[in-house]
């Protein structure tokens, strides 16, 4: 295990090594961030990647003469706390993931910006969904949403294990590992399907491909024949099932050819269908799509809803720009 600490100081960060083959995880000492650390370490080990463990100090900005702004220098107490926190993470990984290449970094930025800066160079970003509360916590659920909306790489948001233990998800391993992915034919969903197949292959999990469809009812309930409406619903279900199965087969690679896949096509809102199917899963994977001129920078309503309500880890995946690679 290799370690190093880099502090984001005024005047520029300490030069980093080539980190294109790293996963970055945000930590703040909370149970959720420890769960995120373990998830990220497993993902890095599975992929043969290094791990960057990042802690953000959220140092405030203040103005100086000539209109310049600088960040406040950390107090000795906050710097010492960050050092202890990261050292504890390194020692934990030394016990649980011996041989994993690990770097540590302390940033003066707020958590969202610190993670987004690291995510520009990372293969994946991982963050906990709930912190300690109050000023003691930095990587909160809102941070996960912001990073998921803006990061160019896949982002995995890991829930507080204490909260998850109150759910059926606590017993999910009794029935085998499962990865659930939403499929709707969009570019974001295609990227999510590829990520989900890869994750299922790495963890020996079954993949559940969820296709949700809805036929809006007419304003005038007397304007259609019941038999015709039933036929439309049956046709929609058949088309959706064929569409999802075709996308799965098109997205498979040589590495994911043997992943067992179950197709779940339901008449439901996509977010509700994913949450229902993924309640006992190991991971829910959703695509992200942008709007207008800010493509890739805004989460869709389905991704937002799943992130806010899921009790299991959620991966938000968007299609990489041309020339980019997802691992």
Q: What is the 3-state secondary structure (H, E, C) of the chain?
A: CCCCEEEECCCCCCCCCCCCCEEEEECCCCHHHHHHHHHHHHHHHHHCCEEEEEEECCCCEEEEHHHEEEECCCCHHHHHHHHHHHHHHHHHHHHHCCCCCEEEEEECCCHHHHHHHHHCCCCEEEEECCCCCHHHCCCCHHHHHHHHHHCCCCEEEECCHHHHCCCHHHHHHHHCCEEEEECCCCHHHHHHHHHHHHHHHHHCCEEEEEEEECCCCCCCCCCCCHHHHHHHHHHHHHHHHHHHHHHHHHHCCCCCCCCCEEEEEEECCHHHHHHHHCCCCCEEEEECCCECCECCCCCCHHHHHHHHHCCCCEEEECCCCCCCCCC
pLDDT surpasses 60 at 20: no
Number of domains forming the structure of the chain = 2
pLDDT surpasses 60 at 229: no
**Residue 239 sits in the same domain as residue 91:** no
**Residue 220 sits in the same domain as residue 139:** no
Instruction: Choose the final residue of a domain: 128, 161, 194.
Output: 161
Q: What is the pLDDT of residue 15?
A: 44
Instruction: Choose the final residue of a domain: 140, 161, 182.
Output: 161
**Residue 171 sits in the same domain as residue 248:** yes
**Residue 198 sits in the same domain as residue 114:** no
Choice between 81 and 65, residue whose per-residue pLDDT is larger: 81
**Residue 30 sits in the same domain as residue 108:** yes
Range of the domain at 232: 167-327
pLDDT, the chain, mean: 80
pLDDT surpasses 50 at 137: no
Q: What is the pLDDT of residue 165?
A: 54
**Residue 132 sits in the same domain as residue 205:** no
User: Closest by alpha carbon to 74, among 126, 9, 29, 125?
Assistant: 9
Choice between 21 and 114, residue whose per-residue pLDDT is larger: 114
**Residue 281 sits in the same domain as residue 150:** no
pLDDT surpasses 60 at 313: yes
Share above pLDDT 70 across residues of the chain, in percent, rounded to a whole number? 72
Task: Determine which of 70-84, 152-166, 240-254, 257-271 has the lowest per-residue pLDDT on average.
Answer: 152-166
Residue range 223-236: average pLDDT? 63
Residue range 200-218: average pLDDT? 86
**Residue 135 sits in the same domain as residue 179:** no
Over the stretch 172-201, which tens digit does the pLDDT of each residue have?
433 469 999 999 878 888 999 999 999 999
Q: What is the pLDDT of residue 296?
A: 38
Share above pLDDT 90 across residues of the chain, in percent, rounded to a whole number? 50
Q: How much is the pTM? A: 0.81
Residue range 100-128: average pLDDT? 94
Q: What is the pLDDT of residue 25?
A: 97
Band of pLDDT at residue 11, cut at 50, 70 and 90: very low
pLDDT surpasses 60 at 35: yes
Choice between 132 and 62, residue whose per-residue pLDDT is larger: 62
Residue range 57-75: average pLDDT? 74
**Residue 138 sits in the same domain as residue 188:** no
CATH number at residue 82: 3.40.50.620
**Residue 323 sits in the same domain as residue 196:** yes
**Residue 179 sits in the same domain as residue 309:** yes
**Residue 230 sits in the same domain as residue 275:** yes
Instruction: Choose the final residue of a domain: 132, 161, 190.
Output: 161
């Amino acid at each position: 295990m290799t370690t190093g600490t880099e502090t984001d100081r005024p005047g520029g960060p300490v030069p980093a090594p080539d980190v294109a083959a790293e996963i970055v995880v945000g930590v703040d000492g909370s149970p959720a961030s420890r769960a995120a650390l373990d998830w990220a370490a497993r993902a890095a080990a599975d992929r043969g990647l290094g791990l960057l463990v990042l802690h953000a100090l959220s140092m405030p900005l203040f103005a100086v003469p000539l209109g310049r702004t600088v960040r406040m220098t950390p107090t000795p107490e906050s710097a010492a706390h960050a050092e202890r926190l990261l050292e504890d993470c390194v020692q934990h990984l030394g016990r649980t993931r011996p041989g994993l290449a690990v770097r540590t970094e302390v940033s003066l930025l707020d958590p969202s910006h610190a993670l987004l800066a690291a995510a520009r160079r990372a293969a994946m970003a991982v963050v906990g969904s709930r912190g300690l509360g109050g000023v003691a916590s930095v990587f909160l659920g809102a941070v996960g949403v912001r990073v998921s909306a803006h990061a160019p790489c896949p982002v995995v948001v890991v829930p507080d294990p204490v909260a998850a233990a109150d759910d059926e998800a606590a017993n999910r391993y009794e029935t085998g590992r499962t990865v659930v992915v939403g499929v709707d034919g969009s570019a974001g969903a295609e990227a999510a399907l590829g990520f989900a197949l890869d994750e299922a292959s790495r963890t020996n999990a079954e993949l559940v491909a969820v296709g949700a469809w809805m036929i809006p009812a007419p304003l005038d309930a007397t304007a259609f024949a019941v038999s015709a409406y039933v036929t439309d619903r049956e046709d929609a279900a058949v088309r959706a099932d064929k569409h999802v199965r075709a996308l799965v087969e098109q997205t498979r690679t040589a590495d994911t050819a043997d992943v067992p896949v179950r197709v779940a096509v339901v008449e439901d809102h996509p977010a509700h269908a994913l949450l229902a199917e993924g309640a006992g899963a190991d991971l829910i994977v959703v695509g992200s799509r942008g709007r207008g001129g800010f493509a890739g920078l805004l989460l869709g309503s389905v991704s937002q809803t799943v992130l806010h309500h899921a009790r299991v880890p959620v991966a938000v995946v968007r299609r990489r720009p041309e020339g980019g690679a997802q691992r």
